[in-house]
Amino acid sequence: GQNIDQPTEMTATEGAIVQINCTYQTSGFNGLFWYQQHAGEAPTFLSYNVLDGLEEKGRFSSFLSRSKGYSYLLLKELQMKDSASYLCAVLDSNYQLIWGAGTKLIIKP
């Protein structure tokens, strides 16, 4: 079967760095997405990786290793507003999105 694993919850301190991991086992691979979802709000797109390596976008970076079935989202200089759930999703060979259950990130002052 297809599976996406990510930690259920993480806690970090304002101003610090946090890495949210995502491992996947899917039927084929056409890219990996990260979405951010604040409580009571819509998920919003953060990043898309299809090639190996690190892609940086301001304070957020996303890394992909296709051979390891692994990705991470790196958040730097954490701010209180970064408290949210972070959803990992893989586009499989049929262009179907397979979703993880999300990681709830709690930022403490």
Chain residues binding another protein by CB under 8 A are 4, 8, 30-31, 33, 35, 40-45, 48, 50, 87, 89, 91, 94-102
Residue 15 or 50: which CB sits closer to another protein? 50
Residue 11 or 13: which CB sits closer to another protein? 11
Q: Of 7, 20, 16, 11, give the one whose Cα is nearest residue 107.
A: 11
| Cβ 17 to another protein shortest distance, Å | 25
Residue 2 or 13: which CB sits closer to another protein? 2
Distance from C-alpha of 20 to C-alpha of 27, rounded to nearest angstrom: 23
| Cβ 26 to another protein shortest distance, Å | 12
Token output for 50: 């299809």
DSSP symbols for 75-93: E-S--GGG-EEEEEEEE-T
